[in-house]
Amino acid sequence: VSERSSGFGDTVWTEFTPLALKHKAVNLSQGLPSIPVEDFIIDALRQQAQPGWQHQYSRASGFPRLVEVIADYYSPEYQRTLQPLTDVCITSGATQGLFLFFQTFVNPGDEVVIIEPFYDSYVPQVEMAGGVVKSVTLRPPKADLGRPATSADWVWDPAELEAAFSERTKAVVINTPHNPTGKMFSREELELVARLAQQHDALVLADGVYEMLTYGEEHLQIAALPGMWERTVTLGSAGKAFNLTGWKIGWAIGPQELVQPMQLTQQYIPFCVSTPLQHALASAWEQAIENGFFDRQRRRFLGKRERLMEILNDAGLQPCMPQASYFILADTSNVEFEAPSQAPFARDYDFCRWLTSEIGVAAIPPSCFYTEPNRHLGARFARFCYVKQDDEIEEAARRLPRLA
Ligand code: PMP
Ligand code: GLN
């Protein structure tokens, strides 16, 4: 294998969903929704099963009707009229959108600032482009807050963020709402990123895949801050927005100067993304706007968030209330358990393997969301996903004893 691929092992996803299946555990690990897909989406997909052009290649950077829906949907958020053909590029999930961005803009030796913990694809993808990761860590909530912690209490040290930028900084990745904490970065935090990006002439990659999954607070687009449209590419995902993780359709939005080179690069990666799924998504999205799908989904997830918070509290874990997304990070440090240690050694891996095999509830060990030297920072926690059917969540409640 090439040097760039030689360091890869199995990801956390490759381990934990099969482990949950093996032990018949309630799978609260991977962000793998098990709630049924709504009928209007199934119908939109069913309509593709007929003769026609939808079975052939589409325009490389996106089926026109889909990029039009996306441009119309997002224009108000960016306070500008998005041009469907030049400001949007369809990708095979946001994961491929990340790859496309790094391949298009990062030269060997360029630095990319990333906030830890992070979605585990960021680092290998930057490195495959020859880039160098400069990471800045969000600190967990302090113990003496005097109130229950929320994801807003995960904060960076602004001086550390500032120090991560240099004349070699090509880009900064900001994921809001954030996986795994559920944090929504505040206006002040985004303004600091914006100021540093402008000062160092860096691009911003805004990973907004969980932007639809907010529960009261307004999602802020860093691209809509003054002077930021020109230097920001924002990623979205139908996997998260519509609960269709297997469709693998994502989108990148930005100014023509940035999106056009991505469109050109995209011709040489997948060429284009699955046409029938793009057709179906365009139709489903148009209907979703009419039928109130996004609000309905938020209300449904909010109930699940409340219930899983309660269950984790009852189990004696210390869950941190997420502002958005569909994950809860819980502090497990007061739980005593006996588990044989296996590689990779980290307490959270041992805890999550034990919880899956002995208790029958699967969760994700968050140390996989840190760079190697900082893995210990995730070791106190476990990440639970609540985009699951109510009876699965109740089964988790029945299985979880008082752990601490
Ligand atoms: N970014 C973040 C923060 C994520 O958690 C995920 C997880 N799916 C992705 C990107 C990738 O999204 P997709 O499934 O559309 O590739
Ligand atoms: N983003 C999803 C999660 O955090 C998983 C993505 C994947 O399976 N690669 O659970």
What integer pLDDT is reported at residue 124 of this predicted model? 97
What integer pLDDT is reported at residue 338 of this predicted model? 84
Report residue 306's pLDDT band, with 50, 70 and 90 as the boundaries: very high
Report residue 344's pLDDT band, with 50, 70 and 90 as the boundaries: low
Burial degree of 357 (CB within 10 A; 0-12, 13-18, 19+): middle
Helices (H), 23-143: 39-46, 64-78, 84-87, 93-105, 122-128
| Ligand that comes closest to the CA of residue 182 | 1
Output the average pLDDT for the chain: 96
Measure 31 CA to ligand 2 centroid, in angstroms.
5
The count of residues in the chain is 404
Ligand 2 atom 7 nearest Cα: 13
Ligand 2 atom 5 nearest Cα: 31
DSSP secondary structure code for residue 282 in this structure: H
Measure 119 CA to ligand 2 centroid, in angstroms.
8
The fold of 3-37+294-399 is Aspartate Aminotransferase, domain 1 (3.90.1150)
| Ligand that comes closest to the CA of residue 94 | 1
List pLDDT tens digits, range 165-188: 999 999 999 999 999 999 999 999
183 in Cβ contact with 151 (< 8 Å): yes
Measure 239 CA to ligand 2 centroid, in angstroms.
10
Assess whether pLDDT exceeds 80 at residue 342. no
Report residue 340's pLDDT band, with 50, 70 and 90 as the boundaries: confident
List pLDDT tens digits, range 122-173: 999 999 999 999 999 999 999 889 999 999 999 999 999 999 999 999 999 9
Pocket flag, ligand 1, residue 260 (CB < 6 Å): no
**Which is nearest to 24 in space by CA: 357, 371, 390?**
357
CA angle 264, 236, 319 (to 5 degrees): 145
Pocket flag, ligand 1, residue 245 (CB < 6 Å): yes
What integer pLDDT is reported at residue 53 of this predicted model? 87
Ligand 2 atom 4 nearest Cα: 31
Residues of the chain with CATH 3.90.1150.10: 3-37+294-399
Mutate to test the pocket of ligand 1, among 120, 237, 327 (most ligand atoms within 8 A of CB): 237
Q: Which atom of ligand 1 approaches the CA of 325 most closely?
A: 5
323 in Cβ contact with 182 (< 8 Å): yes
Residue 381: strand, helix, or coil: strand
Measure 359 CA to ligand 1 centroid, in angstroms.
28
What integer pLDDT is reported at residue 240 of this predicted model? 97
**Which is nearest to 352 in space by CA: 15, 44, 92?**
15
Pocket flag, ligand 2, residue 31 (CB < 6 Å): yes
Pocket flag, ligand 2, residue 30 (CB < 6 Å): yes
Pocket flag, ligand 2, residue 96 (CB < 6 Å): no
Query: Which amino acid, 224?
Result: A
Pocket flag, ligand 1, residue 95 (CB < 6 Å): yes
Token output for 383:
């990440």
| Ligand that comes closest to the CA of residue 16 | 2
Direct distance between the N- and C-terminal alpha carbons of the chain, in angstroms, rounded to an integer: 46
Helix (H) or strand (E) holding 90: strand 88-91
- Looking at the DSSP bridge assignments, the partners of residue 91 are 250
Pocket flag, ligand 1, residue 297 (CB < 6 Å): no
What integer pLDDT is reported at residue 27 of this predicted model? 98
Largest CA distance in the chain: 64
Question: How far, CA to CA in Å, does 359 sit from each of 26, 388, 396?
Answer: 9, 18, 9
Q: How, if at all, do strands 132-137 and 203-207 pair? A: unpaired
Sequence-distant (≥ 6) Cβ neighbours of residue 251 within 8 angstroms:
62, 67, 70, 88, 89, 90, 91, 97, 235, 236, 237
Token output for 22:
């093996």
Residues of the chain with CATH 3.40.640.10: 40-291
Helix (H) or strand (E) holding 318: strand 318-320
Q: Which atom of ligand 2 approaches the CA of 29 most closely?
A: 10
| Ligand that comes closest to the CA of residue 118 | 1
List pLDDT tens digits, range 243-267: 999 999 999 999 999 999 999 999 9
Of the chain, the percentage scoring pLDDT greater than 90 comes to: 97
Q: What is the pTM of this model?
A: 0.97
Token output for 205:
């990659």
Ligand 1 atom 2 nearest Cα: 119
Q: Which CATH number fits domain 40-291: 3.40.640.10, 3.40.50.720, 2.40.160.40, 3.40.50.880?
A: 3.40.640.10
CA angle 279, 280, 284 (to 5 degrees): 120
Q: Which atom of ligand 1 approaches the CA of 249 most closely?
A: 15
ipTM of the complex: 0.98
List pLDDT tens digits, range 194-213: 999 999 999 999 999 999 99
List pLDDT tens digits, range 271-303: 999 999 999 999 999 999 999 999 999 999 999
Q: How, if at all, do strands 327-331 and 318-320 pair? A: antiparallel
